[in-house]
Amino acid sequence: MNLRNIAIIAHVDHGKTTLVDKLLQQSGTYRENQRQVERAMDSNDLERERGITILAKCTSVQWKDTQINIVDTPGHADFGGEVERILSMVDGVIVLVDAAEGPMPQTKFVVGKALKLGLKPIVAINKVDRPDARVTEVVNEVFDLFAALDATDEQLDFPILYGSGKNGWMATSPDASHEDGMQPLFDLVIKHVAPPVVEDGPFRLLGTILEANPYLGRIITGRIASGTVKPNQAVKVLSRDGKLVETGRISKILAFRGLERQPVDIAEAGDIVAIAGLPKGTVADTFCDPSVETPIQAQPIDPPTVSMSFIVNNSPLAGTEGDKVTSRLIRDRLLREAEGNVALRVVESQDKDAMEVSGRGELQLAILIETMRREGFELSVSRPRVVFQKDEATGQILEPIEEVVIDVDEEHSGVVVQKMSERKAELIEMRPSGGNRLRLVFYSPTRGLIGYQGELMTDTKGTAIMNRLFHNYLPYKGQIQGRRNGVLISNDQGEAVAYAMFKLEDRGPMMIEPGWKVYKGMIVGEHTRDNDLEINVLKGKQLTNIRTTSKDEAVRLTPPIRMTLEKALAYIEDDELVEITPKSIRLRKKHLDPNERKRAEKQKEAVA
């Protein structure tokens, strides 16, 4: 079988999933009368809503007599763990770069990993029909990036295609004819990417993607390194360090054919397949013939940088909106997630009611919380904290530092530099990026970036684009000032009344609406000063005999601050929690009783 395995890697929004759509269409995967879905590979609800790829997925197209397995990868650095594993399955990569934005941080991160593995890249400059496209400069930037990442001479001699994924064409120059569609890209993949290297010996496969199926159980996707495999074949599973995980039989083998996965009777070395029937084997394990003793070498994964506590919801409204509320259900769900997602680490905390979950960034953890919420879970989560490390040699505390690239209009660059320096960030580079915009590059502590996205959007009138990427662990940078405003806390339980809220408007903006259920210790608004204030939002109007139009004029309230999940996680302080249910997102104090709050505050001061 003529085979090619490739991955498409690019920064977020550079057009990977749209390009895959066109490759599927032009290779004859769809029937002529078949309804075609936009962004077919983004099958998950959250991916469709947000317009981003979260999970890496495989597909396959037939071009002439060659089968090309294509892996679509996520573009956000938070989901980089997905991409790192996938690269071990493929023999070549298409690096897709936006003709206006050029190579961005995530491009750099994944390309670095791909070059280290010795993969030969094909560069595709996408969106060349954009009015602000700067094709020549972008090609030079890509070359400089490859050189900076220590590419070999062979890797630096990369072929380049220009085109528009949305309009379905690629060509060898920006002005060439568009009539051939994606043919130049297909032909280049077959010519430039080497066929998969097949080793001698019995069946071996490295698990790369894990998913759960209600009918088949756990399904593991990976590339067969050697041998062949058939349904009902006896296999064993070895962990990364060579220990036996389990033995069993393969119940089904699914091969990727277009968008469908079809059962096959035999799968050969070099092909990417999904196998079912083994309940314990997971990602980075080797699935092999019983005679094999040594596992396939798996790529080490970068460490998590941000952690959060997932706590059982103990508010007075617990259990009224969700059906999965116990610590056992939350624990099982998180452990199941950690099995399939190698970039997540889940540890049970001391008090058994909480789980410590560490990941690559706030977005990755927010996606996990949103998924759980839609499944009917109720839980409380703490403010994101960074994962510190200790230098064994010097005893110094090290913290994660990120490379932050901000594209901003020139007029707003001053306020961005000022706010970033307040957050202990260091300006590394400042250069024009076309159209009166500047590209600012900082090295910033991850701590300082928690909650900055919203502030950046306000400061730049929504025009700035921020991209982040884990850089390194470096010595602790010192104290960073947090939120400047205090909060308004409800002092009783009941339903909020418009009359009471109207009277309290001068205290600060509200986060609730009339008729919403509130409880003692729940955060209902933001205080205009820096201290917390307890208020009564339940107080109704005293009725009198007087009935006049001016006296009973309708109460007009200022619209409340709308808290999305990401906004809420970024807003809270260390002594606060976000209560998440399938219907609501509420902010609350960790200690609902005011006396307990004062006691905790005194203890904290005593320790300090």
Residue 134 amino acid letter? R
Six token digits for residue 386: 């960074």
Residue 309 has pLDDT above 60, yes or no: yes
In whole angstroms, give the CA distance from residue 28 to residue 372.
Answer: 38
Confidence of residue 589 (pLDDT cuts 50, 70, 90): very high
CA angle 251, 274, 376 (to 5 degrees): 90
Question: pLDDT band at residue 44, thresholds of 50, 70 and 90?
Answer: low
Pick from 101-115, 390-404, 522-536: least confident: 101-115
**Burial of 131 by CB count in 10 Å (0-12 exposed, 13-18 middle, 19+ buried)?**
exposed
- Residues carrying CATH 3.40.50.300, the chain: 2-192
Instruction: Count the neighbouring beta carbons within 10 Å of the beta carbon of residue 465.
Output: 16
pLDDT at 84 over 60: yes
Q: Does 477 score more than 90 pLDDT?
A: no
**How far apart are alpha carbons 33 and 21 in whole angstroms?**
16
User: How distant is the alpha carbon of residue 226 from its chain centre?
Assistant: 33
**What residue spans in the chain does CATH classification 3.30.70.240 cover?**
389-475
Residues 575 and 589: beta-carbon distance below 8 Å: yes
Selected from 3.90.550.10, 3.30.70.240, 3.90.1150.10, 2.60.120.260, the CATH number assigned to the domain covering 389-475 reads 3.30.70.240
Q: Would you say 96 and 124 are in contact if contact means Cβ atoms under 8 Å apart? A: yes
Tell me: pLDDT of 39 over 60. Answer: no
pLDDT tens digits for 424-455?
899 998 988 767 788 899 999 988 888 787 78
List, for residues 546-564, the tens digit of each pLDDT value.
Answer: 665 555 456 778 888 888 8
Binding positions for GTP are 13-18, 126-129
pLDDT in tens, 110-150: 788 788 888 889 999 998 888 888 889 899 989 988 888 88
Architecture of 2-192 per CATH?
3-Layer(aba) Sandwich (3.40)
CATH C-level class of 487-607: mainly beta
Give the pLDDT confidence score for residue 547 in this predicted structure.
Answer: 62
Inform me whether the pLDDT recorded for 43 exceeds 60. Answer: no
Domain with CATH 2.40.30.10 in the chain: 204-288
**Region 173-180 average pLDDT:** 82
CATH 2.40.50.250 domain position(s) in the chain: 487-607
At residue 595, the 3 state secondary structure works out as helix
pLDDT of residue 552: 47
Contact by Cβ (8 Å): 436, 443: no
Q: Is the pLDDT of residue 38 over 90?
A: no
- Looking at every residue in the chain, the average pLDDT score rounds to 83
- DSSP letter, residue 77: G
User: What's the confidence (pLDDT) of residue 549?
Assistant: 57
Element (DSSP H or E) covering residue 397: strand 397-409
- Higher-confidence residue of 74 and 176: namely 176
Query: Residue 183 and residue 179: Cα distance in Å, rounded?
Result: 9
Query: Regarding the domain delimited by 204-288, which CATH topology (the fold level of the hierarchy) does it fall under?
Result: Elongation Factor Tu (Ef-tu); domain 3 (2.40.30)
The whole-number pLDDT of residue 33 equals 45
Q: What is the mean pLDDT of residues 457-472?
A: 82
Q: What percent of the chain has pLDDT over 90?
A: 19
Measured distance CA(524)–CA(511) in Å, rounded: 5
Task: For 521-530, write each residue's pLDDT tens digit.
Answer: 999 999 998 8
Average pLDDT over residues 400-420: 89
HSE, side-chain direction, 13 A CA sphere, residue 502: 10
pLDDT bracket for residue 495 (50, 70, 90): very high
Helix %, strand %, coil % for the chain, to 5?
A: 25, 30, 45
Q: Give the pLDDT confidence score for residue 103 in this predicted structure.
A: 83
pLDDT for the residue 378: 92
Residue-level pLDDT at 523: 93
| Distance separating alpha carbons of residues 219 and 281, to the nearest angstrom | 9
Q: Report pLDDT for 427.
A: 92
Contact 377, 329 (CB under 8 A): yes
In the chain, the N- to C-terminal Cα span, in Å, equals 68
When pLDDT is averaged across residues 160-187 and rounded to a whole number, the result is: 86
